[in-house]
Chain A
Amino acid sequence: MGRFAWAALAAAVWLALGPAPARADRKQAAELYKKAMRSYRAGRIQQALEGFERSEDADPTYPYPPLALARIYHQLFEQDMTHYRDAALAYDRVGLLLRITPPGPTEQALYQAYYFQGLLLLKGGEYEKALRVLDRFLEVAPDFYAVERVHNARGVALYSLDRFDAAVAAFRKALEADPDFAEARFNLRSVYTRLSTYNEAVALARSGQPEAALRRLARLREFAPRYLPGRRLEAQTLARLGRTAEAERVFREILATDPDDPLTYGVRLDLARMLAGRGQTVEALALLRENLDRFPRIADERAKEATRRLLIRLGGVP
């Protein structure tokens, strides 16, 4: 667990079990908040930041000061790429407070902190976390007035993670909410051009046209070199053509570049089968065991069963 995660946990425990803030603390925090907001509106950013920090110190359960801090740091990040971590941590603190004490009916706008945090994380390349935060936002604020932007942002995160199918679903939801949302439409076109090339390669491979499938996959590799299903299909097709050395190279490239992606479970299985067929039992067993070590709780039952069977066949222990 990271340093920040420990800090967040400690804060959560303190907030949950610590003494409830005295009424005077909230009053003092609110006054400090107002004063800091006046500084912010006057353009005295540094003074405002200090004021919001004091307000947060006065009452750590008051969600507005950390939200203000998060928004200002976020703004600074947008301007000159600084204070990313400050903004992310401030949003985390707001998120924590919202979980512990859900805002009342008149304070629902506080939930927008999740949306803003999602956008920050998206720009910072923390796509998995951005997805979690945006999902949470949709959960608590399904009627958000710009829900299409949330779906679209989810799509961008999914696209960046090469989860094209899920990205399509997200972009389509964005377009359902607003059919004129140009960005979502552009994004959808962008992901479809990739998916269609992959789908055609799949169709060619299944219809007994492996060479043509490889040409399609070469095209796909040009504009989506990191798309794992495409690379895997390339290796499988090469193996089917008997070009095992090339297939092995592609399989190993996938494994070397992204060993922790759950899709590599199948890649190891494919490669293990190929190696076992060539009598390289030791290497095949090592790959299967690596699968078990890396993904002890993989959801794909068929792949798990195939691994178990191959292990038994090769004399390994399942």
Chain B
Amino acid sequence: MRRLAGALVLLVWGVAARAAPETPAPLAGSHAELACDDCHSGPRITDCWNCHEAAENPHPVGIAARDARIPEGFPLAADGALLCRTCHRLHGGDPDREFLRAEPGMTRMGFCIQCHGSSLDHANPHRARRGEGRCGFCHVRRGGRLLTGRGSARLEIKRLCNFCHDVLAKGHPRNVDPDLSLPKDVPMGPGRAWTCFTCHDPHGTTQTTHLLRTEVARHLERGREANPHVPEYFACRACHTTSDPDAIRPPGYALRYRGDVNVLCISCHVTDRSHHPTGFPPSAPAVARLAASGLDLPLGPDGEIVCTTCHDNHCASGDQHMGERYYDRSRGVSDLCGACHDRSVLTQASPHVDDPKTCPTCHVAVPVPGSAEGHELVASPKMVCLRCHSVNLHPANADHLKVPSGKIRPDPSLPLGPQSEVTCATCHEPHADPDRRAARLRADAQALCSLCHWR
């Protein structure tokens, strides 16, 4: 009897459990206050227009996707039409990410390209031509006619752009330049305020990336040649988002580009080829040598080598000038490389031999004879040499590594640096050395001096 009662209870519980609806994930954000009936009033939810205005959403709904590939798990109406729920997950969705069905870490554009493909060929409104439906993504259509010009946008411009680009979350452009000035005659938004199209041309550009207006690109570039590494109050703003010394503090030092030092440096020093690799932590032996050296070389937040590991703008001393750390100019000696590297290993294999394999020790690539290709050095001529050679000022204990004064007239046969400065290679031949002179000098010592110091 007891067994029968137990079985009966189990059976009733099982049926009840099967019949009970699955408890949905809780609602969050502005939806948290809603009752089930607010949305589940009919047999099924087809739209959200009871609360939201249709104009809030620039994306088409209620029609079947034509050129898009809807990922699995994205619900559609029975007839294949797009629903609000196709992209938004109300139960369990993240209100901070517009309840989108995006995987963690997925960007807004990443979410869009799930359906539209990375080329966005069929959806990119920036490739719209009049007469194509996609102009209507941004422009109001009235009486079958597409409106253009001021006031023709379907939504506030920022919201339109934000729909795909998620710019408001990034705080753009203030994440990059909080006190950006603008050229004259760029279009402004309502109330003369900046908006996205102030700097970007949504209809496409031919000379700039990011659809940036040409005049804005020129305006941004106008100060690029000015050196910000000088002891001037306003120079701080080249790298920091403020000039206030109290605000320039660790951990982020109020740096532009959200504190990404390497990107910040690259933004002016246009190159992807650092003369030293960056972005990864030094090896264990290098870390051990660094600890033993007693030198303080700051690494990035992930313990990686960054530009400021070896370079310092001397901001702390108030005498801003960019220089190599632990380089004693008065002696012409650098301790920097030896802090991490075993100099004896560095100097074991001489690059001063006629072997193309050794060219990239000093050059960005193997130079092509008869052309400028590959001749560029991996660092300034002086620093290329100082990486391996630790030398005191010479000859005559004088600093020769500078632009010679007007009195000095170097012989044209002696190569000078990019700023017409004397470099190590002015006197020393780093390449082939048929004469085998001491210290690879370009001429006998006395004769060499007279090539500059002559009357």
**Chain A interface residues toward B at CB < 8 A:** 77, 80-82, 84-85, 119, 122-125, 149, 152-153, 156, 159-160, 162, 168, 182-183, 185-193, 195-197, 199-201, 203-204, 206-207, 209, 212, 215-216, 218-219, 221-222, 225-226, 228, 249, 253, 256-258, 261
Task: Quote the shortest CB–CB distance from A132 to chain B (angstroms).
Answer: 16
CB nearest neighbor in B for A168:
B272
Q: Is the CB of B69 within 8 A of A156?
A: no
B127 at the interface (CB under 8 A from A): yes
Contact of B302 among A189, A215, A256 (CB under 8 A): A215
Pick the contact of A226: B118, B278, B283 (CB < 8 A): B118
* A185→B222 CA distance, assembly (Å): 11
List residues of B whose CB falls within 8 A of some A CB.
Answer: 69, 71, 103, 105-107, 109-110, 113-114, 116-119, 121, 124, 126-131, 135, 148, 170, 203-210, 212, 214, 217-218, 220-222, 224, 257, 260, 262-263, 266-268, 270-272, 277-281, 283, 302-304
Query: In the complex, A162→B209 CA distance in Å?
Result: 11
Residues of A contacting B129 in the complex (Cβ-Cβ under 8 angstroms) = 77, 81-82, 84-85, 124
Complex alpha-carbon distance, A182 and B224, angstroms: 9
How close is B161's CB to chain A, nearest CB, in angstroms?
15
Which of A122, A195, A216, A249 has a CB less than 8 Å from the CB of B103?
A249
Minimum CB distance partner of A203 in chain B: B280
Given A190-B210, A209-B302: A200 touches B124 (CB 8 Å cut-off)? no
CA distance A159 to B124 in the complex (A): 16
Which residues of A lie under 8 Å from residue B270 when comparing CB positions? 185, 188-189, 192
Contact of B135 among A81, A119, A197, A249 (CB under 8 A): A81
With a cutoff of 8 Å between Cβ atoms, the chain B residues found around residue A80 in the complex are 130, 148
Q: Give the total number of A-B pairs whose CB atoms are below 8 A apart.
A: 152
Bound Cα distance from A249 to B110, whole angstroms: 13
Docked-complex contact A196 and B262, CB < 8 angstroms: yes
Secondary structure dominating the interface of A: helix
- What separation, in Å, do the CA atoms of A95 and B127 have in the docked complex? 23
CB contacts (< 8 Å) of A125 on chain B: these are: 121, 124, 126-127, 204
The listed residue (B113, B170, B207, B266) touching A156 by CB distance below 8 A is B207
Please state if B272 and A196 are interface contacts (CB–CB under 8 Å).
yes
A124 to B113, CA, bound (A): 20
Q: Closest approach, in angstroms, between the C-beta of A16 and any C-beta of chain B?
A: 31
Residue of A nearest to B278 (CB): A200
* C-alpha spacing A89/B328, complex, angstroms: 66
The interface residues of chain A lying within 8 Å CB-to-CB of B271 are 192
Contacts of A119 in B (CB 8 A): 206
Which 6 A-B residue pairs are closest in the complex by CB-CB distance? Answer: A200-B279, A125-B127, A182-B221, A123-B204, A84-B129, A203-B280
With A192-B271, A256-B69 as contacts: A200 and B212 at CB distance below 8 Å? no
Chain B residues with Cβ below 8 Å from A187 are 208-209, 217
Would you call B107 and A222 a contact (CB within 8 A)?
A: yes
In the bound assembly, the distance between CA atoms of A123 and B214 in angstroms comes to 14
By the criterion CB–CB under 8 Å, are A209 and B222 in contact?
no
The reply to whether A204 and B266 form a contact with Cβ atoms under 8 Å apart is no
Q: List 23 A-B contacts (CB under 8 A).
A: A82-B131, A84-B129, A85-B129, A124-B129, A124-B204, A125-B124, A125-B126, A160-B209, A182-B224, A183-B208, A185-B224, A189-B266, A189-B270, A192-B271, A192-B272, A196-B263, A207-B280, A209-B304, A218-B105, A226-B118, A257-B114, A257-B116, A258-B117
